[in-house]
Amino acid sequence: MASTSKRSKYFDNAKFILIFLVVFGHLISPLKEKDGILFTLYTVIFLFHMPAFIFISGYFAKGFKKKGYFAKSVKKILLPYVIFQIIYSIYYYLNGQESHLEINLLQPHWSLWFLLSLFCWNLLLYVFARFKWMGFFWAVGLGISIGFIDHVGSYLSISRTFVFFPYFLLGYLLNGDQLKKAIRAKYSLPIGLVIILGTLFFLGFKFPHDAVPWLLGDTSYANMGQEEWSDGLFRGLQYILTLIVVFGFLMLIPSNPLKVSEIGERTLYVYLFHGFIIKSLQVVVPDEHLTTFSGNYLLLIIISLIICLFLGSYFTKKYTRPLVELRI
């Protein structure tokens, strides 16, 4: 991460691995309940992959005060959200997942919550960034407190916006030197390996099946079970554990250019379009045949990789750019 080029390749490499985990996590989601290994992989992936993505997004939001940044956010984040919300609404109706066509811009479809929340996180910077690290602790407090509002949920992605905002703000607050010290310290590689392998081992034995909603951050404590004051403490501990795993993951990322580094520049294309492929597979493949896939881990990895390579290719970008970037 010593130079600009190396730094960009570092983040491109990280983003490629993260978008692969997004696709793989969504692919195995309907299979995880019947396979212990897939359930463990799912919980580990959902513990840190979106927080890591959000942290990187915040790291690159340092120019939010520059002229034109807000207009750029509207064009690159909010308008694609509106376009794909409409497209997904039509798609769900046509493939039979919805009985009638309803376009609701206030209730994000599936993975589109990220775009709506990303736009809101950029707006929240105008308030929280001026308070620096005190603002970060306030953000953590809000992320904990939002869970006590019983009816908070996916509407306008309110719950996820506040639950995941601390990761975005932390990414914004850390400068390049601070981040380098954190992820390129002495013995960072073995430390990162211990963190990731330890998390896999721990969650494989200790993670309760009914606690998955805690990883998603899209609902209140009451909707996840009996609401207790200790739930706030658990979310605080979740923040700490997640950040440890995020930095453990970042310690393992190489800075040198890889063949897949270019895909890391086009993760938005993979993120927006992979849902059409995965949802179509779920419609085409009958439920009784899903168990055939659950035990074939190599096949699931290959399918996920093919989806990433295809959707992140120059070919896909060339023909879908008007929709994603509103550029012809």
Q: Quick check: 29 and 294 in contact, CB under 8 A? A: no
The Cα–Cα gap between 189 and 91 comes to 43
Cα gap 27→281, rounded to integer Å: 9
36-59 vs 4-28: helix axis angle to the nearest 10? 150
Q: What is the pLDDT of residue 186?
A: 85
pLDDT, position 4: 40
Radius of gyration of the chain (CA): 19
pLDDT the model gives residue 5: 45
pLDDT at 3: 42
Quick one: tokens of 161?
């916006």
Buried b (16+ CB within 10 A) or exposed e, 58-68: bbebbebeeee
User: CB of 308 within 8 A of CB of 20?
Assistant: yes
Q: Which of 49, 25, 246, 242 is nearest to 143 (CA)?
A: 242
CA–CA separation, 167 and 67 (whole Å): 25
Q: Which two tokens stand for residue 233?
A: 């403490």
Q: At what angle do helices 113-128 and 132-145 cross, to 10 degrees?
A: 140
Domain enclosing residue 110, as ranges: 4-324
How far apart CA 246 and CA 240 sit, in angstroms, is 10
Q: What is the pLDDT of residue 233?
A: 96
pTM above 0.85, yes or no: yes
Residue 51: the pLDDT is 98
pLDDT at res. 151: 87
Low-confidence ranges of the chain (pLDDT < 50): 1-7
When divided into structural domains, the chain yields a total of 1
